[in-house]
């Protein structure tokens, strides 16, 4: 029986006459982009899935941001996922925390008032990540 080499076992060689090109920019997953934005949310403030999607500069939807936030528990460094709520200020992601009340407890420790799973005075504590991005463009 003839044995064939597995192409995965052999080192890849550049074609004759060409140099191996290294990418100019490192590829970053949308998870990393979302987590970078969420880590910037100030203590005692909240933002929405949609605002993060808009600020990402990628073609993301709020639902995709929610998907990333669902996986944020294993991210290093830690992601303050409790600061992300839906566009109405509701704690729609609270069921994904260790206990049903943990999201609310974490927000209340930061001074955010929550009643019946909804942020009180939502407009006052809302942080717009896109505004930060627009401000930095104005300075440049």
Average of per-residue pLDDT across 8-34? 63
Q: What is the pLDDT of residues 37-80, one digit of tens each?
A: 999 999 999 999 999 999 999 988 999 999 999 999 999 999 99
Please give the backbone phi and psi of residue 114, each rounded to the nearest 5 degrees, phi first: -125, 130
| Closest residue by Cα to residue 47 from 109, 111, 105, 130 | 130
User: Model pTM?
Assistant: 0.75
Q: Is the peptide bond before 71 cis (omega within 30 degrees of 0)?
A: no
Q: What is the DSSP letter of 10?
A: S
92: which 2 tokens? 């729609």
Confidence bin at 1 (pLDDT 50/70/90)? low
| CB within 8 Å of 100: residues ≥ 6 apart | 94
With the CA atoms of 25, 30, 31 and 33 taken in that order, what torsion angle do they form, in degrees rounded to the nearest 10?
Answer: 60
Nearest to 93 by CA among 55, 59, 52, 123: 52
Predicted confidence (pLDDT) per residue in 96-137, tens digit: 999 999 999 999 999 999 999 999 999 999 999 998 655 545
Q: What is the per-residue pLDDT for 28? A: 75
- Residue 106: how many other CB atoms lie within 10 Å: 16
């Amino acid at each position: 029986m003839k044995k064939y080499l597995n192409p995965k076992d052999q080192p890849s060689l550049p074609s004759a006459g060409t140099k191996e090109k290294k990418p100019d920019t490192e590829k970053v997953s949308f998870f990393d982009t979302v987590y970078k934005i969420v880590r910037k949310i100030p203590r005692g403030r909240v933002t929405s899935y949609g605002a993060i999607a808009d600020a990402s500069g990628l073609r993301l939807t709020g639902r995709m941001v929610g998907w990333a936030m669902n996986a944020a528990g294993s991210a290093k460094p830690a992601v303050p996922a409790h600061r992300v709520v839906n566009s109405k200020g509701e704690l729609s992601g609270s069921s994904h925390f260790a206990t049903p009340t943990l999201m609310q407890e974490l927000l209340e420790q930061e001074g955010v008032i929550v009643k019946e799973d909804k942020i009180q005075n939502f407009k006052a504590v809302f942080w717009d990540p896109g505004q930060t991005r627009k401000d930095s463009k104005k300075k440049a």
